[in-house]
Structure 1
Amino acid sequence: MRRAGALSPDLAAAWRALADTLALAGEHEEAERAHLAGVKASTRDPVLAQAAMAMIEGRLNVAERALRDRLRAQPTDVAAIRMMAELAVRLGRYDDAITLLRRALELAPAFTAARELLARTLQRHNRPADALAEVEHLLAAEPDNPSVLMLKASLLVRIGDQEAAAAVYAHVLARHPQQAKGWMSYGHVLKAIGRVDDAIAAYRTALEQQPTLGEAWWSLANLKTFRFSVDDRAAMERGLRATADDENRLHLHFALGKALEDAGGDDAAAFQAYAEGNRLRRAQLGYDPDETHDQCARIAAMVDRGFLDRARGGCLAPDPIFVVGLPRSGSTLVEQILASHSMVEGTSELPDMMAIAARLAAPGKGAAAGRYPECLDDLPPDALQALGAEYIARTRVHRHEAKPFFIDKMPNNWMHVALIRAILPKARIVDVRRHPLGVGWSAYKQHFARGQAFTYDLMELGRYYADYATLMAHVDRAAPGSVHRVVYERLVADTENEVHALLEHLGLPFEDGCLAFWDNRRTVRTPSSEQVRQPIFTEGLDHWRRFEPWLAPLKAALGTVLHTYPEVEL
């Protein structure tokens, strides 16, 4: 077999056969080298080439059939295993992809392409700490690989180590400065750690390299305190004429809307720019407001049947404080106030509770599979305890301070209040509520980095707010006091009393630092990062009134919730 490989180095089958024979003989290092030679040779393998072309053309079923046939015949073909893993990623089967990639690396630990795909798959699967371990393995072999270093920086951001991420970005960009998107990512980190002037400079560098990079324009707008010049507005308009790429165009429209809104004088043009950005973004999304409404109705029915009283078991860890509501409701302000307390650590908008809910809702084996939220009624106490312990374990990577409590500020967790109460009965929940037209307009003119698919259509935004407020009213009626509500307008008008009430509900002693929250230099990754580094201001409370002539669809969808705010009549 060695002779065959020497005579025909492009014969992938010979290398695979040699690798299998060496492995059986216990010659694992040479077996790995043979596997890697087979990977190199597989670029000329007609079966794998056809599978690759089918994947490129979107014929995933054809690619899957070809790869399955190959792996049945040759189960140690590491190139085919990696391709099957890539296909699994394309199909959203992350667990399958991870299993396949670990098998490929078991056979060929130096298979760099497989390890990098494993790291990126773990990142997508919300396992940043595991992904970082694979990245460190890659960097041990190739410490200056810019692609892997950029991946490391993004993972450091995910676990909340922004300072380390900034150092990695600075290191890479010093050596490879012609990276427009790299400068933009660096700007995001600089913004999060409060180096706003440096963030602006990074975004400007990105735009010097790529003037039509819409996300960099939007990143400047997303600083909220930044103001565009007349020349900036002209550059954005030129960018819209110069690019047909929808991703760049939608960001440019959102940024131009912000520039026109701040300039004043033509609110109709500002609204039209926002509306076009929203139209483009909505066309990319598969959001179904009927699904949201149906799930909320099913959870409300469970709550009304006494689920919150029946729930038993769960993990008794008291650590989490969930801050829920709608994005742009003032939740970042509440988080900043609480994170200024000596006993509370601010983390970020953590995806872990939503990931647990998604897994319970996914089809699978067992009577409970795919029946979320109803499956919560069928789970025994030990299963609820395991889910709560899983949440605590998953979120530990985001905790960097020795404080007894931490904040999970994922706003969409309002939909999972029943799940939270079932698996973490000692966790506290704070609902931050803002006037529906105020929060609705603020969300509509915001392009979110991910999620929040309901915000790109005024009618859908109103329906979502109505579903949220109605479900929380069912919770209030079934379990009075289980959720503490902070009304944003009251917090702005009477900050001290509202903060006292909030801390009392959480069982925390009052600390003066909570009233001087703007002095807290912690990392803040949400769009409100610069606003919460200033004392409370009232200018934005009624800002939506300038655009009220265009908010009729939002008003219609809100229905009675608009007129009874902040209460809800069931």
Structure 2
Amino acid sequence: MAQVSPEIKTLFQQAQRAQSSGQLDVAQALFAKILRLNERLPEVHFHLGRLEMQRRAPKKALKHLRRAQELKPTEPIVWRLLLDALIAAGDSRGVDKLLKSAETAPLTPQVFRELEMKARTGNRSGEANLGSADPAAFQEAVRLFQSGQAAEAAEAAEALHRRHPGVAPILAVLGASRAALAQLDEAETAYREAIRIDDSYAEAHLQLGQLLQSRRRFEEATPLLERARELMADSPLVAKFLGMNYTDRDHANSALPLLEKAHAELPDDPEAAFALSRCLFALRRFEDARATFASWAERPSAPPPHLALMGNILNELEQTDSARAFYERALAARPNFGPGLSGLAWIAHHSGDFDLSAKYFAQACESGTIDGRLARNYSAGRMLLEDDPILPQIRAAYEEGTEVPGTRADLAFALAKAAEDQGRPADAFELLRIGNDTLAERFPPRDRLVQGLNERARLTWRPETAPVEATDAPRLIFISGMPRSGTTLVEQIVSSHSTVTPGGEIGLLNGALSDRQRLAVVEERGLTASELRATAGEIAQRARTLAPEASVLTDKAVLANADLGFAPQLCPGSRFIVVRRDPRDNCLSIYKNRFADGTHRYTTDLKELAHNYLAFLKGMEFWREAAPEAFLEVRYEDLIGDPEAGARALIDYCGLEWEEACLRFYENARTVRTLSAYQVRQPIYSSSVGAWRKFEAELKPLIDILRDGGALEEWD
């Protein structure tokens, strides 16, 4: 963007994030707010045009795109999208008029040719310009390739290329043939030469992007696939491969609309269904992922990767027996298949059988598959001393390096635990730093997450709002706080009661509120009565769906405390428990652990972590003043120091009769899917209290910020 004010820059970034994650109403409101501050920003008009195209409203997009073109007539991407909108709107006269104006516009000849091609082909496919080459000879090379005769196709394409060295489609066939022969460097060279000759030849961009994607060179593949999409915006193949690329680069929200398009237009393509299901899985839409892929995974011919994905989906849906069956099918088809062994290890881990989990993990390591997350969880469940049989393999995998996103960070965390177990705290912290720095490269810390959640709630909450009417949904017990504060322990105690169904990390309250809050904040208003009724209905319906037989349901959602004042309004009869812990221990535990990709980005930087913790405390100060009766605060150290008194107080607050099982929470056989899966299987222990002292020097930047912010006054 041109020089703009910091306010506009911030709003624009927020709008882009909202648009890429599918929050189109929020994005539109933010872009409109920017235009009220400065109407002459072509980027904003362009993105509003893109937004309307996402909504499949090309006629509405035209107004914004024409304004963007007027403000920045030299920008090719604006012309391309404007032409796309005219074609999608069926405006043939508009297409002709645009091409006429492009003849005298300040565009390069190549861009003009590209626009002509789009107009001729209806924006559905590129055209192969063969120049003086014999079309019949070219088609013969293509036929040889398509019939599986890669060597013969390469020979034919090579001969054609010698006679016609400046023809991009010939080089593309040569590249495809070389790739089929596993001559990947030669294939890459051919594709790049094709693009150099004709940058508007979409097929070369698509094929080179696919090749780099298969070689796990995701960042390099992205611009090629995006260029292919510019040239062939309606191609489902381009949508599939670009969507796969976005998923592999941790941009699942951006991938979703592309993969939905590919799956809809390629209903008989198992890879399109697989790619969409992977994306939905990454977005934690597990039921949608299952529905998308179940029919393909159930086929007798389903390959092991497809079976393992289905196992992963069912595992997350807690359909353990069905998940195990898919993993076993994968292993039957391919013995020692790493993802199958890892899947069985996860089932054992979540159910508390850590020895069996370690056995499967060891087998996966022997097969050459190192699941970084399993390595991290393996280290959490035992003392990792030098004679540990799997430690050398974890160390070797770390030292050799890996291109699998996130794996190096996981291995660093596992080795940090080993160093700490072996009495080497300085080495342990250095490995923690490496692990967190590695994650920060993929997911740079941005915005004060906790502060943003607090502000969103404060700006949209209205204390005078009357509670909605009670429904027949389960009564909810919300358990929240900062990550690693002890929320899993509290849930395990409460859910050991015979009348309570454990929900785990559902996120009912903040999940239902977030989109409505974002829009209300942009429009500078509180939530309306109708929005609150809709939110309450959504929460009740989801609770009934998740636990139809439950009378009381727990929801352990970290940071949901930002919205705790809404709980009495939306969920009559609910209870809200907020867990706090010595900030130094809490922040150290956060820094030592790895969260789901792209979430809790502040955790990888000590200073950002400290500032977010201070924001958490500030949010709690607000609710103590505004809604003191809405929640119960629990200190983790008090619960550890006197477990029975703490457990009895929790059960009493929840309105339940005392049961001795709540003190034997570690015998609870429920599946636990949090970072604390190992700890809550053990009786209460106090070794984690004061653990920060081992790393006091390394934690000094964090401790100084916490102390200056007043966070340590009640703990020193």
TM range (shorter): 0.7 to 0.9
- The alignment's C-alpha RMSD in Å is 3.5
Q: 1:84 to 1:358 in 2, by over 3 A?
A: farther
Give 3-state SS (helix, strand or coil) of 1:564's partner.
coil
In the TM superposition, what is the alpha-carbon distance from 1:542 to its structure 2 partner?
A: 1.9
Aligned to 2:495: 339
Paired position in structure 2 for 1:371 = 522
Per-residue deviation, 1:403: 2.1
Rounded to whole Å, the distance in 2 between the matches of 1:83 and 1:47 is 13
The percent of aligned pairs where both chains have the same amino acid is: 26
**Please, what TM-score do these two structures have when normalized by structure 1?**
0.78
2:711 matched residue in structure 1: 562
Aligned to 1:324: 480
Verify: 1:252 aligned to 2:411, yes or no.
yes
Question: 513, 530, 540: which is aligned to 2:661?
Answer: 513
Mapping 1:157-556, distance limit 5 Å = 157-210=315-368, 214-223=372-381, 225-230=382-387, 235-243=393-401, 245=403, 247-264=406-423, 266-290=424-448, 292-297=450-455, 299-300=457-458, 307-310=462-465, 312-313=467-468, 316=471, 317-351=473-507, 353-360=509-516, 368=519, 371=522, 377-379=526-528, 381-394=529-542, 398-399=546-547, 402-418=549-565, 420-450=567-597, 451-556=599-704
Task: Describe the superposition over 1:267-306 as per-residue Cα deviations: whole angstroms up to 9, x where unpaired.
Answer: 2222222222222222221322445434434544666xxx
Say which SS state the counterpart of residue 696 (structure 2) adopts.
helix
Q: Is the 8 A contact 2:296 2:302 kept in 1?
A: no
Q: CA deviation at 1:468?
A: 0.9
> How far 1:234 moved relative to its partner?
5.1
- Measure the CA separation in 2 of the matches of 1:150 and 1:315: 42
| Cα separation, 2, equivalents of 1:283 and 1:49 | 30
Question: 2:229 is matched with which residue?
Answer: 64
What do residues 175-228 of structure 1 show as CA deviations (whole Å, max 9, x unaligned)? 3233334323321221001221110011111222237664443231132x3433
CA contact (8 A) 1:81 1:104 kept: no
Write the letter of the residue equivalent to 1:489.
Answer: E
- Contact 1:162–1:523 (Cα < 8 Å) also in 2: no
In structure 2, what is the Cα distance between the partners aligned to 1:473 and 1:549?
A: 30
Q: CA deviation at 1:502?
A: 1.5
Q: Is the 8 A contact 2:482 2:559 kept in 1?
A: yes
Alpha-carbon deviation of 1:315? 7.0
Deviation at 1:465, TM superposition (A): 1.4
Please state whether the residue corresponding to 2:617 is helix, strand or coil.
helix
Distance 2:335 2:325 in 1: 14
Q: 1:104 aligned to 2:260?
A: no
Provide the residue aligned with 2:197 in structure 1.
Answer: none
- TM score, norm. by length of structure 2: 0.63
**Change beyond 3 A, Cα 1:563–1:215:** closer
- CA distance in structure 1 between the aligned counterparts of 2:397 and 2:301, rounded to whole angstroms: 37
Taking a change above 3 Å as real, the CA distance of residues 116 and 346 of structure 1, as seen in their structure-2 partners, is same
3-state SS in 2 of match to 1:563 = coil
CA contact (8 A) 1:278 1:457 kept: yes
Structure 1's 149 and 444: CA in aligned 2 closer, same or farther, altered over 3 A?
same
Kindly state the Cα deviation for residue 464 of structure 1 after the two structures are TM-superposed: 1.4
Mapped to 1, the partners of 2:574 and 2:500 lie a distance apart of 13
Q: Label 1:277 to 1:138 Cα distance change in 2 as closer, same or farther (>3 A).
A: same
CA gap of 1:342–1:464, structure 2 versus 1, over 3 A, is: same
| C-alpha distance 187-87 of structure 1, shift in aligned 2 (>3 A) | closer
Tell me the secondary structure at the aligned position of residue 113 of structure 1.
helix
**Structure 1 pair 123/392, CA: closer, same or farther in 2 (3 Å)?**
farther
Distance in 2 (alpha carbons) for counterparts of 1:52 and 1:369: 44
- Judged with a 3 Å threshold, the aligned counterparts in structure 2 of structure 1 residues 137 and 176 are, in CA distance, closer, same or farther, namely same
Deviations 1:487-512 (A, max 9, x none): 11111112222222222222112111
- Please give the per-residue CA displacement for 1:35-92, whole angstroms capped at 9, x wherever unaligned: xxxxx99x98974554454686322553332233xx3xxxxx7656656866886672
Q: SS of the residue aligned with 2:463? A: helix
- Alpha-carbon shift at residue 335 of structure 1 (Å): 0.9
Alignment partners' CA distance in 2, 1:104 and 1:188:
35
With over 3 angstroms needed to count, the CA separation of the structure-2 counterparts of 1:262 and 1:427, relative to structure 1, is same
Shift of 1:467: 0.9
The one-letter code sitting in structure 2 at the alignment partner of 1:178 is N
Instruction: Give the conservation status (yes or no) of the 8 Å contact 1:183–1:203.
Output: yes
Tell me, in whole angstroms, the C-alpha distance in 2 between the residues paired with 1:360 and 1:81: 30
Q: Which amino acid aligns with 2:607?
A: M
Q: Are the aligned partners of 2:345 and 2:360 in contact in 1 as well (CA < 8 Å)?
A: yes
Q: 1:279 to 1:61 in 2, by over 3 A?
A: closer
Select 1:115's aligned residue among 273, 277, 283. Answer: 273
Question: Do the aligned residues in 1 keep the contact of 2:364 with 2:370 (CA within 8 Å)?
Answer: no
Give 2:293's aligned residue. 135
Determine the C-alpha separation between the residues in 1 that align with 2:206 and 2:400: 37
Cα-to-partner distance string for 1:107-149 (whole Å, 9 max, x where unaligned): xx43333333333343344332232123222134446432222
How far residue 521 of structure 1 moved from its aligned partner, in angstroms, is 1.1
User: What runs of 5+ residues in structure 2 fail to find an aligned partner?
Assistant: 1-120, 125-145, 148-171, 177-200, 214-220
Alpha-carbon distance in structure 1 between the residues aligned to 2:510 and 2:229: 30
Task: Note the alpha carbon deviations across 1:232-275, whole angstroms, 9 max, x for none.
Answer: 555544444332658443223211211121122x3222222222
Q: CA deviation at 1:341?
A: 0.8
Tell me which residue corresponds to 1:37: none
Between the aligned partners of 2:301 and 2:521, the Cα distance in structure 1 is 44
Shift of residue 541, structure 1, vs aligned partner: 1.3
Q: In the superposition, relative to structure 1, how do residues 439 and 378 fare at CA in structure 2: closer, same or farther (>3 Å)? A: closer
Distance change (3 Å), C-alpha of 1:80 and 1:552 = closer
2:522 aligned counterpart, secondary structure = coil
1:85 and 1:98 in contact (8 A); partners too = yes
Contact 2:460 / 2:527 at 8 angstroms: preserved in 1?
no
- The verdict on how the C-alpha distance between 1:486 and 1:566 changes in structure 2, with shifts beyond 3 A counting, is farther
Q: Which amino acid aligns with 2:713?
A: T
Q: Find the counterpart in structure 2 of residue 74 from structure 1.
A: none
